[in-house]
Amino acid sequence: LADMAESFAGGKLVATVNQNLMIPWVKEEAFGNIFSELKKIDLHKAGTEEIRDITCCPGSETCNLGITASRGLVESLNTEMEKELEISKDMDHITIKASGCPNSCGQHHIASIGFHGGAKKLNGILTPHYEVLLGGRVTEDKAIFGTSVIKIPAKNAPEAMKTSIKDYKNNKQGEESFGEYFDRMGKAHFRELLDPLKTLPDIEQSPESYIDYGSTQKFSLEDRGQGECAGAVTDMITDRISEAERAQFQGKLSLEKKNVKETGDHARRSVIASARALLVTEGMDFNDDWECLKKFQSLVIDMEIVSAQFAKLIDTFEENTEASDEKTAELWLSESGLLLEECKAVQEKMQSDKSLRIRVGGDESKDKATGAVKTSASIDLLGVKCPFNYVKTKIKLETMASGSVLEVLLDDGEPSENVPKSIKNDGHKVISLVEEQGHYKLTIEKA
């Protein structure tokens, strides 16, 4: 695909929100060639952005929060659709999406027919289920969330899809869309239609109905729910780096238009986003831009995690609220671009080392901790939001010797659920998690 994009288009591939790859700027005279090349790798068939283009999240196969194997479900939906549904053009606006849990990474909430994973006991056996949501859609000016209609066993989900589509096809009025049909008929109509799908035959008659797609094992939720904090930290850094990249792009456009003020503003925005990205690893977040830049200077630039030359750029920002002329704006933009590149290199290093913090002059605190006396300490993280509470706990643990005990006060909810699991993932021992006056005390023994 990369070769094709380079030979026949603008050398770019774009990942779309509907999980497709788009090759933009294909030259018209290259259509025939590109089709032949796509055919060689079996990617030439129609179906993109049509009813057959079913999408989903990774589900329980790889996601720690996943309840059901949404990818397996989608494979089955595709097979059943090919086998049993007569597809026509008027059905291509129907979107079908699935997620392995209610979190909706598969965007089930905006699909005409959406499924999200769940679990429920049926005939006394814990069985994978899907909540069926109908009537969701995105129009030019608004998004309408689907209505939760019924919860059915996972193995009945393909039947629910076929039944709903056939009902629409047979009874729609004129050009009515699936969403409009759902609005007209109402939840009660579909609930009644899908009600027979709530049950399964006895396990002796149909044991495969009680296990998930792609599995041969009894369905269970035991492996579920490892902490997601480390992933949240990475996402947060990536979001901020992307923000800096956007600022760079917009800055270049402004410079082309010779708009000095806007170019300078985008350069400043790029520096702030880069700073905020790396400060996540220090457990810090700032609403105040100036405070953020000052902290970045003392914790990142002064520690030589990025080059010392950027201190001058931050000082310039302190002295000047806007770029005075085109030359200055161009310089700010190029310097902020270099800073972004260095921050990205730090991020990549952290990812490849699987380390959360970058150290200067060796792994100093680890050396200090090795062989040191076991200590005990406590930190109060009440009011500190996720994942900063995790980062602060991790940073504190890094300064302690193996076998030391750390007590951490955490808020109820996400913090008390996620931090203990993530700390356990990191190899430390969770001694206890006790509720105390509306919050939690987590006691950890450092590995």
Residues acting as catalytic residues: 386
Pick 57 or 381: Cβ nearer ligand SF4 = 57
Core vs surface per residue 171-188: b (16+ CB within 10 A) or e: ebeeeebbbbbbeebeee
Residue number, 99 or 127, with CB nearest to ligand SF4:
99
CB of 64 to ligand SF4, least distance (A): 7
Spatial distance between the Cα atoms of 381 and 413, rounded to a whole number of angstroms: 13
What is the spatial distance between Cα 292 and Cα 439, in angstroms, rounded to a whole number?
Answer: 29
Residue 405: its H or E element: strand 405-411
Please count the CA atoms within 13 angstroms of the CA of 375 that sit on its side-chain side.
Answer: 14
* Residue number with CB closer to ligand SF4 (115 or 388): 115
Report the residue number, 103 or 226, with the smaller CB distance to ligand SF4.
103
Question: In the complex with ligand SF4, which residue's Cβ is closer, 64 or 147?
Answer: 64
* Minimum CB–partner distance for residue 212 and ligand SF4 (Å): 12
C-beta of 62: minimal distance to ligand SF4 in Å? 8
Give CA–CA dist 342/278, Å, rounded: 11
Where would I find the beta strands (DSSP E) of 69-226?
A: 96-99, 113-122, 125-134, 137-138, 143-144, 147-153
Residues that bind ligand SF4 (CB under 6 A): 57-59, 63, 65-66, 99-101, 103-106
Nearer to ligand SF4, 103 or 234 (CB): 103
Nearer to ligand SF4, 59 or 179 (CB): 59
Q: Minimum CB separation from ligand SF4 for residue 369, in Å?
A: 34
Smallest distance from the beta carbon of 89 to ligand SF4, in angstroms?
A: 31
The DSSP result for 2-71, as a single string, is HHHHHHHSSS--EE-TTS-EE--S--GGGHHHHHHHHHHTT---S-TTSTT--EE--GGGT-TT--S-HH
- Please report how close the Cβ of residue 26 comes to ligand SF4 at its closest, in angstroms: 32
Q: Under a CB-based contact definition with an 8 Å cutoff, are residues 350 and 358 in contact?
A: yes
Rounded CA separation 323/252 (Å): 14
d(CA 225, CA 435): 20
Which of 236-269 are b and which e, b meaning 16 or more Cβ less than 10 Å from the residue's Cβ? Answer: bbeebbebbbebbebbeebbeeebbebbbbbbbb
* 300 vs 306: CA distance, rounded Å: 6
We find the least distance from the C-beta atom of residue 431 to ligand SF4, in angstroms, to be 29
* Single-letter code of the amino acid located at 202: D
Least Cα distance to 68 among 114, 132, 122, 119 occurs for 119
